[in-house]
Amino acid sequence: MSRRPVFITIEGIDGAGKSTHLAAMAQRLQAAGATVCLTREPGGTPLAEDLRAMVLNRPMDPLTEALLVFAARRDHVLNVIQPALQRGEVVLADRFADASFAYQGGGRGVPLAQLNALEAWACEGLQPDLTLWFDLDPTEAAQRRARAREADRFEAEDLAFFERVRAGYAARAAAQPARFARLDAGQSLDTVAAAVRAVMAERGW
C-alpha cells in the first residue's frame, strides 16, 4: 500500500450505510500498516462538534446553515485534516465539502456560487484524493433510517429533499469524475464491501 498521505472521504445521503463501511475501511488500512485519522463532518474538533449540534437541531435559514457548516469545516481542516496529512497519515472522513454541495446546495437551494466561495475560503484548495459515494434510493434510505434512530433536523426532511440531495451528489460527481467512485448502496452489505475493497485496490490502498 502507498505510504504517502492520503485523504479519502465517504459521502451519501443519510441511511446509505457509510458508517459501517468506514469502520471496516479504517481497519483494513491499519492492518496494511497505515496510521489512520478517522473523523467526520460536520465535526471532528470541539468547536466543529458544537456547530454540528446547532446545525442538526436548531432551525435556521439555508445560508446560515451553509456558513456554520463551512465554519466547522475550516476549523476541522486547520486542526485535524492538514496536521494529519503533514504527519503522513491516511485521513478517512465521513463527509467533506461535497456534502455541502449536496445538502445545502441541492437540498436547500443555496446558490453554487456562494458554496464555491465558501469552499475556497474554508478549504484553500484542499480536495480528497478519493471520494466514495454511497448512492441509494431515498425511499430505501428513509426506511433504513426509520429502523435505526430518531430523526434529526435533516433526517426528518421529506423524500423530495433527499432526491435533490442525491441529484446534488450526482452533479458533483459528474463535475469531478477522477476522484469520485459511485457505489450502489442498495446492494447487500457484503457486495458493497467487496466493491469498496475493489476501488481501494485499484488506487493502491
Could you read off the pLDDT of 36-69 as tens digits, one per residue? 999 999 999 999 999 999 999 999 999 999 999 9
Indicate if the pLDDT at residue 92 is higher than 90. yes
Q: Is residue 165 part of a domain?
A: yes
User: 107 Cβ partners below 8 Å, 6+ apart?
Assistant: 157, 161, 162, 164, 165, 168
pLDDT at 148: 64
Q: Is residue 29 part of a domain?
A: yes
Binding residues are: 12-19
> What mean pLDDT, rounded, does the chain reach?
93
Q: Is residue 1 part of a domain?
A: no
SS3 label, residue 66: helix
Distance CA 30, CA 177 (A): 27
CATH number of residue 63's parent domain: 3.40.50.300
Whether the CA torsion 83, 86, 92, 93 is positive or negative: it is positive
Binding residues for ATP are: 12-19
pLDDT at 154: 84
154 vs 108: which has the higher pLDDT: 108
Give this prediction's pTM: 0.93
Domain enclosing residue 91, as ranges: 6-203
Confidence of residue 121 (pLDDT cuts 50, 70, 90): very high
Q: Is residue 154 part of a domain?
A: yes
Confidence of residue 20 (pLDDT cuts 50, 70, 90): confident
Q: How many residues make up the chain in this entry? A: 205
Q: Is residue 44 part of a domain?
A: yes
Q: Is residue 12 part of a domain?
A: yes
pLDDT at 160: 95
Q: Which of 99, 98, 93, 97 is nearest to 36 (CA)?
A: 93
Q: What is the per-residue pLDDT across 164-183, written as a single tens digit (0 to 9) for each? A: 999 999 999 999 999 999 99
Q: CA 158 from chain center: how many Å?
A: 20
Question: For the residues 18-39, what does the mean pLDDT come to?
Answer: 92
DSSP 203: T
Number of domains in the chain: 1
Q: How far is CA 72 from CA 5, 14, 69, 155, 169, in A?
A: 23, 19, 5, 20, 20
State the maximum Cα–Cα separation within the chain, in Å, rounded to a whole number: 45
